[in-house]
């Protein structure tokens, strides 16, 4: 059986590829579990400073959850369906959202349902001009289950999110850009190059500072501004004890490019 999530590491970047192209990279239970395993490996790998997540083939990033497999869990009742599908999917997107290394989604085709929810959870996203997004769960009688009812309104606003959630209608990458779901829309052949270029721009800086920014932003979105400012201060305090802050300040004073160690 082929690996459902491929991994390639080069130049400080781990490229993870959802690998079920014959099923439009639909997320079955094995793929969700494998993605979590890959993230566990990458978090502790000192060679990796950023992650790019994309889909195999030319048609889809991910068309969403594996509906036939999900249907079998539904037949066994609410408790089983929630355990198998909802908890697994929410754990996957929560892990991506809070991952301490920047995660960039390269949307190379369809990003429907769970594929769209992964894009919502990731820190950054680059989309092909031929990509298409949708929140189609309502068409099979369910709400989104991987965090889509919570993250999309936070990204795009309540009314725009509700229109997409309640109609299930597909939308363009240009609309995804306007809503804040993606950072850039580029020609199909440029998606991975643009994602790598974005990753390299981040890799110039301290990985500890990057992790602190991700933590402060992710936590702060669910806090009052006063609480968020405390979280921000905590991340700064952690940096004061590191070598990286002293390297950054010394490099600035000496007018040279800093060389960060991640310590």
- Residues noted as catalytic: 117, 137
Six token digits for residue 35? 């993605």
User: Which residues sit opposite 13 in a β-bridge?
Assistant: 10, 50
Instruction: Please give the Cα distance from 150 to 93 (Å, whole number).
Output: 12
Angle in degrees, CA 185, 189, 194, rounded to 5: 55
Length of the chain: 263
Give CA–CA dist 116/146, Å, rounded. 10
Which residues partner with 60 through β-bridges?
A: 110
Q: Which two tokens stand for residue 200?
A: 């390299």
Which strands make up the sheet holding 13-18, listed edge to edge?
5-10, 13-18, 50-55, 103-107, 124-128, 184-186
Do 197 and 177 touch, CB atoms closer than 8 A?
no
Torsion of CA 65, 19, 43, 122, to 10 degrees: -50
Query: H or E stretch including 72?
Result: helix 67-75
Separation of alpha carbons 42 and 51, rounded Å: 8
């Amino acid at each position: 059986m082929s690996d459902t999530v491929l991994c390639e590491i080069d130049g400080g970047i781990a490229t993870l590829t959802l690998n079920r192209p014959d099923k439009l990279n639909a997320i079955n239970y094995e793929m969700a579990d494998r993605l979590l395993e890959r993230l566990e490996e990458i978090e502790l790998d000192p060679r990796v400073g950023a992650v790019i997540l994309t889909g195999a083939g030319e048609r889809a990033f991910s068309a969403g959850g594996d509906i036939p497999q999900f249907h079998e869990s539904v037949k066994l009742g609410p408790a089983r369906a929630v355990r198998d599908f909802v908890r697994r999917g929410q754990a996957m997107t929560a892990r991506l959202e809070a991952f301490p290394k920047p995660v960039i989604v390269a949307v190379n085709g369809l990003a429907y349902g769970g594929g769209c929810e992964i894009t919502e959870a990731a820190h950054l996203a680059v989309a092909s001009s031929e990509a298409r997004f949708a929140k189609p769960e309502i068409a099979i009688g369910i709400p989104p289950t991987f965090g889509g009812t919570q993250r999309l309104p936070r990204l795009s606003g309540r009314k725009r999110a509700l229109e997409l959630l309640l109609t299930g209608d597909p939308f363009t990458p240009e609309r995804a850009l306007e809503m804040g779901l993606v950072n850039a829309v580029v020609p199909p052949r440029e998606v991975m190059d643009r994602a790598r270029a974005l990753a390299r721009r981040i890799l110039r800086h301290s990985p500890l500072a990057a992790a602190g920014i991700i933590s402060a932003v992710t936590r702060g979105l669910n806090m009052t501004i006063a609480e968020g400012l405390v979280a921000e201060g905590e991340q700064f305090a952690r940096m004061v004890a590191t070598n990286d802050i002293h390297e950054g300040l010394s490099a600035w004073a000496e007018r040279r490019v800093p060389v960060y160690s991640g310590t």
